[in-house]
Amino acid sequence: MFADREDAGRRLAAALRARGHASPVVIALPRGGVPIGFEIARELEAPLDVLLVRKIGAPFQPELGVGALSDGDDPQILLDRERLARLGIDEADLEDTIRAESEEIRRREQLYRRGRNPPAVRGRTVILVDDGIATGSSARAALRSLRRRGAGRLVLAAPVASPDTIAELAGEADEIVCLLEPRDFRAVGQFYDDFRPVSDEEVVDLLERGQAREGRGAPPRSGGVASGR
pLDDT digits (tens, 9 = 90+) for 94-128: 999 999 999 999 999 999 988 888 888 999 999 99
Rounded to the nearest angstrom, the gap between the alpha carbon of residue 203 and the centroid of all alpha carbons in its chain is 13
Give the pLDDT score at 135. Answer: 86
**Shared-domain flag, residues 136 and 202:** yes
Residue where a domain stops, chosen among 111, 144, 177: 111
pLDDT for 21 equals 82
Whether 212 maps to a domain, the answer reads: yes
* Mean model confidence pLDDT for the chain: 89
Q: How large is the average pLDDT for residues 202-228?
A: 63
Q: Which of 111, 138, 154 is the last residue of a domain?
A: 111
Question: What's the pLDDT score for residue 216?
Answer: 54
Residues 158, 68 share a domain: no
| Same structural domain, 62 and 46 | no
Q: Considering the chain, what percentage of its residues have pLDDT values greater than 70?
A: 91
Amino acid at 177: V
Residues 72, 151, single domain; the answer is no
Q: In this model, does residue 33 exceed pLDDT 90?
A: yes
pLDDT value at residue 32: 96
Q: Are residues 173 and 206 in the same domain?
A: yes
Region 140-151 average pLDDT = 92
Residue 176 lies in a domain: yes
Q: Are residues 102 and 159 in the same domain?
A: no
Residue range(s) defining the domain that contains residue 70: 54-111
Domain count, the chain: 2
